[in-house]
Amino acid sequence: MVQVQSIPTGTVKARIVSIEPIGTTVTYDIGVYKNHNFVANDVLVHNCQHDAAASMAHLHNVLEPDFILGLSATPFRTDRVKLCFDKVVKDAGIHQLVQDGYLSRFEHFNVDNWNPETVAERYCAEPERWGSSVVFFHAWDDCLKFKDILRSREDEIVARLREFRPDLALRRSLVESVRGGGTKSDYDDRDELLADFRAGDVAVLVNCMVLTEGFDAPNLETAFVRDSMKGPTMQMAGRAFRMHPKWKNEKDEAFKFKKVVQSGHTKWPILKTVMADRQYTWQDDQWRSLTLNPHIESINKAARIAISMVNVDLPKWMTDRTKKSQPNRRFGNRNSTSPAN
């Protein structure tokens, strides 16, 4: 048992007064490396969209927890397998969280196809636009091919970034690939790589379904999201919805909008879930805006007000006709006859 005393001053909210043992309970950590699930005091807490997996069903049977608490930003499965929970508590969707200012606003970009050559070409043409980026592909071979293309043009890209994006230090390299599995040493290397990315020492991370969950990097500016269904798409695009520190803390307009890039062949455009502030599509070798000019509505409103205030004189033939057609509302029609007495 921990007794806590409140302190009203400064940034410290409380301090520990005493710690007294009240017994022991077994706590199980049954998660993968740095993606944990816990069982403590007969409560199982885990990433709930994985609940329907055979391994989790087995754990339910073995541990027999009194309660199960599932936490997830995507409490559903693409295969529509039912989760074990009796009740789903849902406070707000992604769109509402963006509108309320808890998540970052973003721009959406649409490319023709999703392959290493197309995605690499779009990045290499404007590396300063995309900045710190995470790129997703279906296959590991595609990840390696994408990385090889960027490294073959690394001198050119780094020169542009150093000119237009001095905030990126790039002390390690331009692009690195992230792969799942491996030994503890591999995991430690991955942690070091992700730390370098957050520090701006690596500009691009390319991966195959590794950085979809449990990866938090607010400095990430662009998510290149491979073609996929609703759940994986929301997880991949969601990496970019954290507010950039330079916008959140300093209100630097250059970092106000994150970016999500998808192909027109994806089964779930993120725009089905949350609306972007601006939309672009690659056409005729350039980005074309699909978003209405934000000033059009204000122009229309001003025009409507101006028209409503104009005093318009109708032509005489119309006013004469109108007067003749109006009945005498007090005495009725002059041509009508009164009934005989």
Q: Does residue 35 surpass a pLDDT of 60? A: no
328 vs 120: which has the higher pLDDT? 120
In the chain the domains, ranked by start, together with CATH numbers, are: 18-90 (no CATH), 94-289 (3.40.50.300)
- Tokens 């808890």 belong to residue: 102
Report the candidate in 240, 236, 235 with the shortest Cα–Cα distance to residue 225. Answer: 236
Query: Which among 109, 123, 135 has a CA at the least distance from the CA of 197?
Result: 135
Please, what is the average pLDDT of the chain? Answer: 80
Whether pLDDT at 329 is above 80: no
Contact in structure between 157 and 129 (CB atoms under 8 Å): no
User: Does residue 214 register a pLDDT over 80?
Assistant: no
Is the pLDDT confidence value at 85 over 90?
A: no
Pick 211 or 93 by higher pLDDT. Answer: 211
pLDDT above 50 for 4 = no
Most confident of 38-52, 96-110, 181-195: 96-110
Residue 285 CB contacts under 8 Å (≥ 6 apart), including other chains = none
Which DSSP string do the residues of 26-72 spell out, in sequence order? Answer: --EE-SBTTB--EEETTEEEEEGGGTTSHHHHHHHHHH--SEEEEE-
Q: Which amino acid is at 249?
A: N
209: left (phi over 0), alpha (psi -120 to 50) or beta: left
* Angle, CA 130 vertex, CA 124 and CA 131 arms, to 5°: 100
Q: Is the pLDDT of residue 276 over 90?
A: yes
Overall pTM surpassing 0.75 (yes/no): no
pLDDT tops 60 at residue 327: no
Find tokens 């050559």 and name the residue: 117
For residue 2, name the pLDDT band (cuts at 50, 70, 90). very low
pLDDT digits (tens, 9 = 90+) for 223-255: 999 999 998 999 999 999 999 999 999 999 999
Task: Please give the DSSP secondary-structure letter assigned to residue 271.
Answer: G
Kindly tell me if the per-residue pLDDT of 321 is higher than 90. no
Report yes or no: 146 and 120 within 8 Å, Cβ to Cβ.
yes
Compute the C-alpha angle 122/106/36, nearest 5°: 95
Token pair of 280 as six digits:
């672009």
User: Is the model's pLDDT at 34 over the cut of 60?
Assistant: no
